[in-house]
Amino acid sequence: MKRLSHVMTGLAWASCWPAAHQAAREGNPIPFLLGAVCALLPDTLDRWTTGLLERPDIHIVPPPEAPAPQAIAEALVMGISHCHNTGKAIGMECYPVPIDVKRWRPYRLQFDSVRRLIGVSFDDTGVPGALLASPVSFVSDTLSTLAIHNAPVSLLAAPKDDGRVAITVTSAGRPWSHSLVMAGSIGAIAGGLWGMTAGVIAGGAMGLHAFIDQWGFTGSNLYWPFTHKRSEGWQWVQPNQGRFFDFALFWMALLLLGWNILRTINPPVESPPLTQILLFGGAIPLALLKLSRRLF
C-alpha cells in the first residue's frame, strides 16, 4: 500500500499542471509517467543501489538447530552500545529461523524504552525467552513489538542529540536517495530532456516522497550532499498507524487526481470546489473510518 500511495501522489502532483494534460491529449504520456516513476524513485534507489553497496554492520541469523533468544538480544544490545560509543549509525539485519526451504520460524522482538529492556520470544504467548537490559537509553519507532516472519528486517540504530539511540525499522539507510538536492537534480535532468513542466513534475514528485516519509519516525538525509547527518522524522504518524495513513494518502491523492482530470477535459465537467471534495469525500469519511476502527 505504501508504494501505491506514493505512485498516486506522484500522479496527483502531475495532474496539477495543465501542460501535462495537454501533452496527454496530444499522445505524450511522459509528464504523468514521470510523476509516477519519480514518486517511487527514492525507494528504488535505496533497494537497488544503496541496499547493494551498503551492507548491514550486524547480521543476526539464529541457527536453525538451536535458536537462542539470549544471543539475539545480546546482538541487539551490542549494536545499540556500539552506536552510542562511536557516535555512528549501525545497521542491523534480523533474519527469521529457517525450518526448511519454504518455511520459517517467526519470533518477536520487544522494546521497552522506559526500562531499557529488549525481549526475544519464539512462541505466541508474548513472554520473552530472553529479556536483556541495555546499558544505553534508546527510543524505538516499533512502539513495543516487532515480528520477524519470512524475510529479514533491517533496523537502524542512530545516535540522537540527547545521548539516546534511536532504533528505526528501515529497508535502507536513506543516506542520499531521499535528498531534496537529489530531487532537484533529477528535476533538472528531466527538464533538460523533456521541458520545464516535466522537470517540475519529476523533481516535485521525488521531493514529495521525501516529505511524506519525513512524517514518520525514520527520517532522511534531506540536505545531502551538504550534510551527511540524517534528520529525525517528525513522528506525526505512529508506526501502528502506517497502513491507515498510506490508505488515507492514496484516497486523498485519488480525489485530487480525479478532480483535476474532470476540470481539464474538453468540455470540462462541472464539479464541486476542491475543498468540498477533499472534505466531504476524503477527510470526513476517513475520520469516521478511523473512529470505527477504534470502536470496533
Residues 243 and 272 in one domain: yes
pLDDT bin (cut points 50, 70, 90) of residue 217 is: low
Grid cell, residue 202, equals: 519529476
Does 72 score more than 60 pLDDT? yes
Confidence of residue 294 (pLDDT cuts 50, 70, 90): low
115/62 same-domain check: yes
Which of the pair, 173 or 8, is modelled with greater confidence?
8
Mean pLDDT of 65-81: 87
Grade residue 222 by pLDDT with cuts at 50, 70 and 90.
confident
Full domain range(s) for residue 232: 2-52+176-295
Measured between alpha carbons, how far is residue 197 from residues 11, 27, 52, 189 in Å? 14, 16, 33, 12
Task: Give me the residues paired with residue 161 across strands.
Answer: none
CA torsion sign for 61, 66, 70, 74 is negative
pLDDT tens track for 224-277: 888 766 666 776 776 557 788 889 999 999 999 999 998 887 777 778 899 999
Total domains, the chain: 2
Q: Are residues 247 and 232 in the same domain?
A: yes
CB 147 within 8 A of CB 123: no
Chain position carrying cell 514518520: 216
C-alpha cell at 265: 477535459
How far apart CA 288 and CA 293 sit, in angstroms, is 9
> What mean pLDDT value characterizes the chain?
83
**Lookup: cell for 191:** 527538464
Among the candidates 148, 169, 190, a domain finishes at 169
**DSSP letter string over 66-92?**
S--HHHHHHHHHHHHHHHHHH-S-EEE
pLDDT in tens, 99-157: 776 677 788 888 888 888 888 888 766 667 788 888 888 887 655 567 776 667 788 88
Give the global pTM.
0.64
Average pLDDT estimate for 187-193: 94
Give the alpha-carbon dihedral of 30, 31, 36, 37, to 10 degrees.
60
Q: Provide CB contacts within 8 A for 279, sequence distance 6+.
A: none
Per-residue pLDDT at 33 exceeds 90: yes
> In this predicted structure, what is the pLDDT of residue 229?
66
Contact between residue 127 and residue 121 where contact means Cβ atoms under 8 Å apart: yes
Higher-confidence position of 140 and 165:
165
In the predicted model, what is the mean pLDDT of residues 13-23?
A: 93
Q: In whole angstroms, give the CA distance from residue 147 to residue 113.
A: 17
Dihedrals phi, psi of 82, to nearest 5 degrees: -65, -40
Domain boundary among 169, 191, 218: 169
pLDDT of residue 207: 93
Say if residue 82 is in the same domain as residue 122. Answer: yes
Are 274 and 212 within one domain?
yes
Domain boundary among 105, 134, 169: 169
Q: What CA–CA distance (Å, rounded) separates 145 from 149? A: 13
Q: What is the spatial distance between Cα 142 and Cα 150, in angstroms, rounded to a whole number? A: 18
- Please give the DSSP secondary-structure letter assigned to residue 176: S
Is residue 151 located within the same domain as residue 221? no
Q: What's the pLDDT score for residue 172?
A: 45
* One-character DSSP codes across 102-122: S-EE-EEEEEETTTTEEEEES
Together in a domain, 284 and 187: yes
β-strand 165-169 against 153-159: which pairing, if any? antiparallel
Determine the pLDDT at residue 196. 95
